[in-house]
Homo-oligomer: A and B are copies of this chain.
Amino acid sequence: MKLSTKGKYGVRAVYEIARHFGRGPITIKEIADRQGISFSYLEQILHKLGKAGLIESVRGPAGGYLLARKPAELTIGDIVRTLEGPIALSHCLEPGEAGDCYQADDCVARMVWTKVGAKIEEALDSISFEDLLTQQQVQQKEIILKPKKKAALAGKGVC
């Protein structure tokens, strides 16, 4: 039950784009540097998000990426579904394949994973990037108040 780095990097990258909202396109390189993600890998991820219509790209010099919608209208669920595929805990719950399963009528597990999957979608869709932006401001203040405790494990944790 882990997210792949694609999903996690995707959210962090779009978060950076959202932070840049209203100030023109932000380049892959800048996102990669800020978030410590490989440039080439990030290209793939952003391209996928672009094809899905969640972000827009501007080519040529001074180009980069922009949000395709307002931060409030873009959710974590959008990103995760695009990068990790549809939320289907089991293969035979994927859209298209659903009706195919020969034992769907007889399968008690089906209800379980369907129900849990719905809860996950609900949770993912309930968080927009605007939420992340406002939360970041709150955290910012808290950090200023607290004594800064720079811990050891630099570069290790990556949500």
Contacts of A123 in B (CB 8 A): 115-116, 119-120
Known: A102-B152, A111-B135. A159 touches B8 (CB 8 A): no
Nearest B residue to A151 via CB reads B102
A contacts with B, residue count (CB < 8 A): 58
What is A's interface to B at a CB cutoff of 8 Å? Answer: 1-3, 7-8, 11-12, 15, 76, 80, 84-85, 87-93, 100-113, 115-116, 119-120, 122-124, 127, 132, 135-136, 139, 142-143, 146, 149-154, 156-159
Instruction: Work out how many copies of this chain go into the complex.
Output: 2
Q: Are A89 and B142 in contact (CB under 8 A)?
A: no
Give the nearest-CB partner of A120 in chain B: B120
Task: Given A89-B3, A122-B119, check contact A157 B108 (CB 8 Å).
Answer: no
Assess whether B113 is in contact with A159, with CB atoms less than 8 Å apart: yes
Check B11–A109 contact: CB distance below 8 A. yes
The 6 nearest A-B residue pairs measured at CB: A101-B157, A109-B159, A92-B157, A119-B123, A102-B151, A116-B123
Inside 8 A of A143's CB, which chain B residues have their CB?
105-106
Contact between chains at B105 and A159 (CB < 8 Å): no
A73 CB, min distance to chain B CBs, angstroms: 17
Indicate if the CB atoms of A108 and B139 lie closer than 8 Å: yes
A112 and B102 CA atoms in complex are apart in Å by: 37
A142 CB contact (under 8 Å) in B93, B105, B156: B105
* CB proximity of A47 to chain B, nearest CB, Å: 21
